[in-house]
Chain A
C-alpha cells in the first residue's frame, strides 16, 4: 500500500509566478491537510480538505488556495509567489486518529 505521495519533489520558481503542488493520499483516506515548513521551523497548518470542500484554514493569505478531487487527491496553489514562500510543503492524509505525512515538495522562490 503506497503511502502519501507528493509531486514534484523539488521546484524552483521566480517571484510573482504561480505554482501548483500535488498530493495523493494514502489509500482509503478522504481528508487531506497541507502544511508549510520553513527552514528550521515546525510545520504550519495551511488548510484541510474533506469531501472536496475546505474544512479548516490556518493563518495564510488568499494567495494560497487548494482543491480536492473526487478521488481525494489534492492540489495546493500559490499565486504571486514571494521569496518568503520558499519552504517544504507537506501534505498529510488522515485516518480516523492519525495524520500520515508525505515526503514534501521543496519550493524555492528566487
Chain B
C-alpha cells in the first residue's frame, strides 16, 4: 500500500542553520503530499502541500517540491528559528481533496538551539 518514509530524528540545529528533512513515498497512483507540524502540546497543523508533480509548496519560510522522478518531498528552510522546534510529519493522500485519508510518516523531531 501507499507509504511514507522520513528521516529519523532528533535533528538538532543552531539558530539560522539550514534545514532539510528528507521524505520519500511509495504510491501506486498520483498522491497529494503534505508536511504537517506538531508543536509541543498542540494538534497537527498543515505546514504546506503539493498536489501534483513539480509543484512547490511553501509557507513560513519552509518549502518542499513534489519530485515524481525521485518519489520525494523533502522539507527545507534556509534559516531556522528556535520557534521552529517541533515534530514534522510528512504525509500523503491518494488524491486531491480532504475526503481522502492521510497516511503519515513516523515524524522527525527538530530542536533548534539559540
Contacts and interface: CB of A to CB of B under 8 A. Distances in A.
A66 interface: no
Contacts of B44: 43, 90, 92, 101
Interface string B83-114: 00000010100001111011111110000000
B16 to A, nearest CB: 28
Interface string A40-55: 1111110010100001
Contacts of A45: 101-103
Contacts, number: 60
Given A40-B106, A41-B107, A42-B107, A101 B43 contact: yes
A92 B38 CA distance: 14
Interface in A71-103: 90, 92, 94-103
Contact of A99 (B41, B42, B98, B106): B98
Interface of A: 4, 31, 33, 35, 40-45, 48, 50, 55-56, 58, 90, 92, 94-104
Interface of B: 4, 36, 41-46, 49, 89, 91, 96-99, 101-107
The 5 A-B residue pairs whose C-beta atoms are closest, nearest first, are A42-B104, A94-B98, A101-B43, A45-B101, A101-B44
